[in-house]
């Protein structure tokens, strides 16, 4: 998948969180989730849409579950019950677009001007003590 194309940094970050899944596997999982209808779905449904190399490998199937849990922590998915997930947006890109707009507005806030910090008064120099 995507040979010759640079890998999306968001996909890379998701892949960092899930060992034993390659970037291509993360892309396939996201595509499988996006292809599901709205409403609750199970891990088994997602795995049934993935290639055999993931379906037959028990460790990879577990990692897909870990990826889904990571997507819950991001807010893209919700978990209404122990074995079911629900999408909170049609795709991850739709979900992230609202956060990208929010991030853009945060980045436009000007930093504090240099002179607006706490003012520390300058101490007067002490004169020499007079001798008796």
**Contacts (Cβ under 8 Å, ≥6 apart) of 20:** 59, 60, 63
Among 96, 87, 104, 108, smallest CA distance to 33 is for: 87
| In the block, residue with structure tokens 């000007």 | 110
pLDDT of res. 2: 46
| Cα atoms found within 13 Å of the Cα of residue 30, Cβ hemisphere only | 23
Q: Are 60 and 20 in contact (CB under 8 A)?
A: yes
pLDDT digits over 27-61, tens only? 999 999 999 999 999 999 999 999 999 999 999 99
Whole-model pTM? 0.75
Question: In the chain, pLDDT over 90 holds for what percent of residues?
Answer: 61
pLDDT of res. 109: 81
Domain boundaries along the sequence of the chain: 9-94
DSSP secondary structure letter of residue 115: G
**Is residue 104 very low, low, confident or very high in pLDDT (cuts 50, 70, 90)?**
confident
Among 92, 56, 58, 70, smallest CA distance to 18 is for: 70
- Domain 9-94 classified CATH 3.30.70.1230? no
pLDDT, mean of residues 20-26: 93
pLDDT digits over 54-99, tens only? 999 999 999 999 999 999 999 999 999 999 999 999 999 999 998 8
């Amino acid at each position: 998948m995507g040979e010759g194309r640079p890998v999306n940094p968001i996909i890379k970050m998701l892949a960092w969180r899930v060992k034993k899944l390659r970037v291509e596997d993360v892309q396939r999982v996201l595509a499988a989730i996006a292809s599901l209808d709205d409403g609750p779905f199970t891990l088994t449904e997602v795995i049934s849409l993935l290639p055999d190399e993931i379906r037959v490998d028990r460790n990879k199937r577990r990692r897909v579950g870990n990826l889904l849990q990571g997507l819950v922590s991001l807010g893209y998915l919700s978990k209404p019950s122990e074995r079911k997930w629900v999408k909170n947006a049609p795709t991850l890109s739709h979900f992230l677009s609202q956060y990208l707009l929010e991030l853009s507005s945060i980045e436009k806030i000007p930093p504090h001007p240099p002179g607006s910090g706490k003012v520390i008064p300058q101490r007067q120099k002490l004169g020499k003590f007079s001798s008796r």
